């Protein structure tokens, strides 16, 4: 049995209707600001709202640490263009910033939740057996740029496949999607941009 919390972000408002080991049904509503730039569609969210959603998920440092340790082997992480291979190197590189907890929260799979739910709403169709899946277990990539201890920018890239199951249960690829979430934190406050290609 899972402990379910209601979480409300500016991009996604959802609630679990049913949650068991074998099935999850989620009711999703979205509200967004659509921006067109270079022929790509962006979705905008305020950084405070984004971080508040993550803080509600990771109420204690223990919960955050456990989730980060589970997620880290399944992600790729770069800090200032250097690939980070382990927890110790990760904490050493971000430890001198003023956003240690925020960066750790963002570098979990939860930060991809809003864009994932957006894609589920747009593409998922159980009646037609169309599903949204991750491309592979390391399809979540974090590129962290540390400008100074008060200014961090994180690009989160995640690839998705839109598949359709045939009557034999085999999957056919309908579409590949590349999503980018750009998170910028500094003492002046910034916004979060989501982009789907």
Per-residue pLDDT tens listing for the chain (197 residues): 223 333 333 334 444 444 444 444 443 333 343 444 445 555 667 788 888 888 888 889 999 999 999 889 889 999 999 999 998 999 999 999 999 999 999 999 888 887 787 788 888 888 888 888 776 656 789 999 999 999 999 999 888 888 888 888 788 888 888 888 888 888 766 667 767 66
Query: Within a domain: residue 87?
Result: yes
Query: Within a domain: residue 51?
Result: yes
Query: Within a domain: residue 180?
Result: yes
* pTM flag (> 0.85): no
Q: Is the distance from CB of 158 to CB of 179 less than 8 angstroms?
A: yes
Closest of 134, 193, 127 to residue 162, by C-alpha: 134
Half-sphere exposure of 57 (CA within 13 A, CB side): 24
**Domain coverage including residue 134:** 33-196
Query: Within a domain: residue 10?
Result: no
Q: Which tokens hold the place of 149?
A: 């201890």
Interatomic CA distance for residues 133 and 84, integer angstroms: 26
Pairing of strands 82-83, 40-46: unpaired
Query: Within a domain: residue 5?
Result: no
Query: Within a domain: residue 23?
Result: no
Query: Within a domain: residue 155?
Result: yes
Query: Within a domain: residue 19?
Result: no
- Looking at the structure of the chain, the number of domains it has is 1
Q: Name all contacts of 60-65 with Cβ < 8 Å and 24+ positions apart.
A: 61/101, 64/101, 64/104, 64/105, 64/108, 65/104
pLDDT at 163: 84
């Amino acid at each position: 049995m899972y402990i379910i919390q209601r979480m409300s972000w500016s991009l996604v408002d959802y609630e679990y209707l049913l949650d068991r080991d074998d099935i999850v049904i989620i009711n999703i509503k979205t509200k967004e600001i659509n921006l067109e730039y270079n022929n790509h569609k962006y979705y905008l969210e305020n950084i405070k709202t984004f971080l508040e959603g993550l803080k509600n998920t990771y109420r204690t440092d223990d919960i955050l640490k456990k989730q980060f340790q589970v997620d880290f082997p399944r992600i790729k992480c770069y800090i200032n263009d250097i690939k980070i291979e382990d927890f110790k190197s990760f904490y050493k590189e971000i430890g001198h910033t003023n956003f240690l907890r925020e960066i750790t929260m963002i570098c979990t799979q939860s930060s991809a939740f809003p864009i994932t739910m957006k894609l589920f709403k747009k593409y998922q169709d159980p009646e037609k057996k169309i599903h949204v899946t991750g491309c592979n277990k390391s399809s979540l990539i974090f590129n962290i740029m540390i400008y100074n201890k008060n200014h961090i920018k994180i690009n989160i890239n995640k690839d998705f496949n839109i598949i359709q199951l045939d009557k034999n249960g085999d999957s056919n690829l309908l579409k590949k999607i590349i999503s980018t979430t750009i998170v910028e934190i500094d003492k002046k406050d910034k916004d979060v941009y989501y982009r789907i290609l």
